[in-house]
Amino acid sequence: MNSNGNDRSASALELEIRSFSLPLEQPLGTAGGSIESRDGFLVRVVDRTVDEPTATSVGYGEATPLAGWTESPDDCEAALERARTAIRSGGPSGALGEVDEQVAARHAVSLALADLKASQSATPLYRHLGQESMVGRVPVNATIGDGTPDESARTAMDAVERGFTCCKLKAGLRDLEEDVARVRRVREMVGSDVELRVDANEAWTYAEAERALEAFDELDVSVLEQPLPAGALEGHADLREAAGEVEIALDEGVLEHGIDGICSAGAADVVVLKPMALGGVDVAYEVAAWVSELEITPLVTTTIDGAVARTGAVHLAAAIPDVPACGLATAELLAEDLGRDPVVLENGAAVIPQAKGLGIDGVWPD
């Protein structure tokens, strides 16, 4: 459908692609090596109405591949090129068919098409996804990187003073006892009213995770994310049985086992949804609705994306009823961005753009 409701024959879709490279403020250490920039492809879908040649509607998408989570950059680019050819004859379904197996590419194409449709309907993207009510903001967590107990506590206090009510501590790079000491020191500094989560990034053995859970239960940690390697589904299920008040979250495990596997094993209270890794905000929204019905909590986070994908993730979070604090405050990790960020962070929350579509502009170079 185009903006005036006529069928596809009354308009022509074009898909355009531009590559980009966004340097990080600091190199990011991962299991696959150090990342110094986020490289990807900006996508623009243009609808030029045949009977009004000067009238155009535009939707934006972003594909930012990440090793271990998505296809390679080369495979992503090849899929986008196929989509560019297919959209001319097959329309949206033809383009999506060419990227169906490449999640980052599908994220870009599906987001651009959703942005286009929402813009033509003069609807913010989160409401286009299915949220009936207007949502003004969604809570976000501050991320506390590795550091000494005092360094972690100072960083957490700075976040609290900026309005954050939830802090997620990265763990697993130090001895377990040091990480427990870090969490204890942060709790002492921020007090009892701030939610604390810990992300172990698959670092611990089962015995270490058991000891961590015992300590974290006493420290009122709300969520322990991915304490064991992704493959240890039954181990996570066993930990969940012994976790006390601490909820077990799976992130890498979502890709490894899928929601069916996680639910069958009873392995998680919380699942972390990365739209780039799942193949789009539309797919992630369906997964969020699914797990919510199963009484599993969905959390939305980015893969350190540019402004287009990050804004899409914010709209996704806004579309999920009663979503808890999500990992969306990642713009500060980038030294450069694709353009002006339409999402303002204010008092520990992301203010949702209420303009049509994503609400983003100025990202496509002239």
Indicate the annotated binding residues for Mg(2+). 199, 225, 251
Q: Which amino acid is at 237?
A: A
Contact, 328 vs 301, CB < 8 A? Answer: yes
- Residues comprising the chain, all counted: 366
> Tokens standing for 141?
């967590």
Contact, 5 vs 41, CB < 8 A? Answer: no
Residue ranges for the binding site? 199, 225, 251
Q: φ and ψ at 149, to 5 degrees?
A: -55, -45
Determine whether 168 is an active site residue: no
Q: φ and ψ at 135, to 5 degrees?
A: -120, 125
Q: φ and ψ at 47, to 5 degrees?
A: -110, 105
Torsion sign, CA atoms 305, 308, 310, 312: negative
Q: Which residue bears the tokens 């074009």?
A: 14
Q: Which member of 117, 168, 170, 356 is catalytic?
A: 170
Contact, 277 vs 69, CB < 8 A? Answer: yes
**Residues belonging to the active site:** 170, 274
